[in-house]
Amino acid sequence: MFAGMVVLGVPALLALGAAGVSSAELRSDAPAALLLGMGITMTVPMVAWMRHRGHGWQPSNEMGASMMIPTLGVVGLLGAGLVTDVGTLLMIEHVVMFPAMLVAMLLRREEYSHAAHGHHAEHAITASRGHAGARGRSESAA
């Protein structure tokens, strides 16, 4: 989550700077865009990392939703005028993400425990090598 803020957050800030917009301006003039940007810059790299580590699309999307739902929730709070302080909204967004991600992980314990996600890819590679090796031995014996 925090690594994602750096992976996409820094380039996003640089792009905003190149466009002549600062994060302070976003904070005061377009707080919903700031909140959405924060959610996206954390979620996209996290989903990419999960896919790289061997997680399927379903658990990756669920984890992404566990991060974007709180983001949409704080945008809703802002839009309804219930909470208008951007610092408070950012704090709510981040604090709610942690239990939301925990729920996603607890619903798929096997997916997130004992490095199970990597075993699928390793098993497929090992199985294909073992199958080719068995084929090679039977062909040489014939």
Write down the pTM of the prediction: 0.69
Residue at 132: amino acid letter: A
Q: How far apart are CA 90 and CA 141, in angstroms?
A: 67
Tokens of 11: 């380039």
Which of residues 136 and 30 earns the better pLDDT score?
A: 30
Could you give the angle at the alpha carbon of 101 between the alpha carbons of 111 and 73, nearest 5°?
145
SS3 call for 98:
helix
Residue 137 has pLDDT above 70, yes or no: no
**Could you report the per-residue pLDDT of 84-117, keeping only the tens digit for each?**
999 999 999 999 999 999 999 999 888 888 655 5
Given this model, what pLDDT does residue 122 score? Answer: 52
Round to whole Å and give the CA distance between 78 and 57: 31
67, 49 contact by CB (below 8 A): no
pLDDT above 50 (res 26): yes
